[in-house]
Structures are given as C-alpha cells and as structure tokens.
A and B are shown apart, each in its own frame.
Chain A
Amino acid sequence: DQQVKQNSPSLSVQEGRISILNCDYTNSMFDYFLWYKKYPAEGPTFLISISSIKDKNEDGRFTVFLNKSAKHLSLHIVPSQPGDSAVYFCAASAVDNFNKFYFGSGTKLNVKP
C-alpha cells in the first residue's frame, strides 16, 4: 500500500507562471519530507525539504508547504522555467526510521516556453 501518493502523473505550465505539485501521505509517523527532481537517465537530485515542526520552507524559487492535519504537502515553483521540466518525487521518512524514505510515484512537469 502506497504511503506517499502523487495523484497527478503530469502537469503542464507556461514559463513564468507558478507550478504547484501536490503530495499526500497516510502515515502519521512521517515527520520529514523531501522533494527530489529527476531528469531522464539521471538519478534523483535533492531539491528541498521540510520537517514536521514547520509548515513552510523556502529556497529561492522553490517553496514547500506542509499541512499536517490534512497529511498534504505541496511544492511551489515561482516563476517556472523551461529548465524545471523534469519528474518531481515527493518522499517522506518517519521519526522511528528516518533513514527509510518512502517515495511517491512522481509528477512529470513540463514548462512550456
């Protein structure tokens, strides 16, 4: 059973606009969340993370929001650039086993020039 879900397999956005990628989780023990970005034929690359003590973390154009009561997090990219086109994976780990990451199935983002 998937504990981390990304229900949108793909997203298409115009350059300069906001991209919002969503992720839901079921395990209430998850306390650390990450977003990874993956280009074809490469391994995932760490993008941004957030711990459960916060509800927002920002790094440049990337902001992650965490809603613990809804077990939902989102990644906002503003402004979106064509180079952001990639597959984005949400991942989570639990306080009792922080080394074990659970990944969602990914959302393919296409930023159109």
Chain B
Amino acid sequence: GAGVSQSPRYKVAKRGQDVALRCDPISGHVSLFWYQQALGQGPEFLTYFQNEAQLDKSGLPSDRFFAERPEGSVSTLKIQRTQQEDSAVYLCASSLVTGLAGGDTYNEQFFGPGTRLTVL
C-alpha cells in the first residue's frame, strides 16, 4: 500500500448535492495537492497543503470548493451544491520534498488514481 489512494473512485451526484472526496497520501509525505482534470484536458491545480496548513488555494474555482487536511495526513475535498460543470476527475498528489533539492529531481508529485465525479 505504498501509493496515493483516493476514494471513492467514482461518484455520481445530483445537481445541488454536496460531495466529499478523500485522499490518503503516501505515508510521510509532507505536501499534498488537489487537481481537477476535465475531459480531454490536463490536470489543473486546485490547492496545496504543507502538513495541515493550506498554503495555496488559488485554484479553487469557487467558494463551493473547500479542502482540509486537519492532521497533516488524510485530506478531504468537499464540493457544496454541485453543478454540472464540476463533473471531472479529481486527482490528489503527494510529495516528500517541499523545497528546492537541487539537481534534476525535486518536488516530484505522486498521483493517486483519481475520483471521477459526474453531476447529473
């Protein structure tokens, strides 16, 4: 169980419903990231945690989106009053390195399999 895990893998919600998506990062990884991937597009940054602190939430599309990581490990992305445009794959990633480490490899982010959210 060394990888990033996400649950549920698939979620169907009716418009207006609240949803909660869970991410279990790799043990010991300090940084945690959430991305939104629309069909045919690349992942788009939503938010970033270093331990329990949410250091960047500039990518959250609206105040209906809320993320937390209260104990610095598991994180939850909550979407309130879901809309059809929220339909996407939500990816979680974690990283061990939080700063420049020099050389060619630093800040590699390890991704989970994603949660595919469909809002009807």
Contact = CB atoms under 8 A, between A and B. Distances in A.
B42 to A, nearest CB: 3
A106 B33 CA distance: 20
Interface residues of A, number: 29
Given A44-B43, A100-B45, A101-B45, A49 B108 contact: yes
Given A43-B114, A51-B103, A105-B40, A100 B56 contact: yes
A54 interface: yes
B56 A99 contact: yes
Contacts of B100: 98
Interface of A: 4, 6, 32, 34, 36, 41-46, 49-51, 54, 57, 89, 91, 93, 97-106
B107 A98 contact: yes
A99 B91 contact: no
**Interface of B: prevailing SS:** loop
Contacts of B93: 43
Contact of B105 (A43, A44, A49, A91): A49
Contacts of A44: 43, 91, 111
B45 A102 contact: yes
Size category of the B interface is: 20 to 34
Contacts of B110: 46
A105 B95 CA distance: 22
B106 A46 contact: no
B108 A41 contact: no
Given A43-B91, A99-B56, A89 B104 contact: no
Contacts of A100: 45, 48, 56, 58-59
Contacts of A54: 104
8 closest A-B pairs by CB: A43-B111, A103-B42, A44-B111, A103-B43, A105-B42, A43-B113, A46-B108, A43-B112
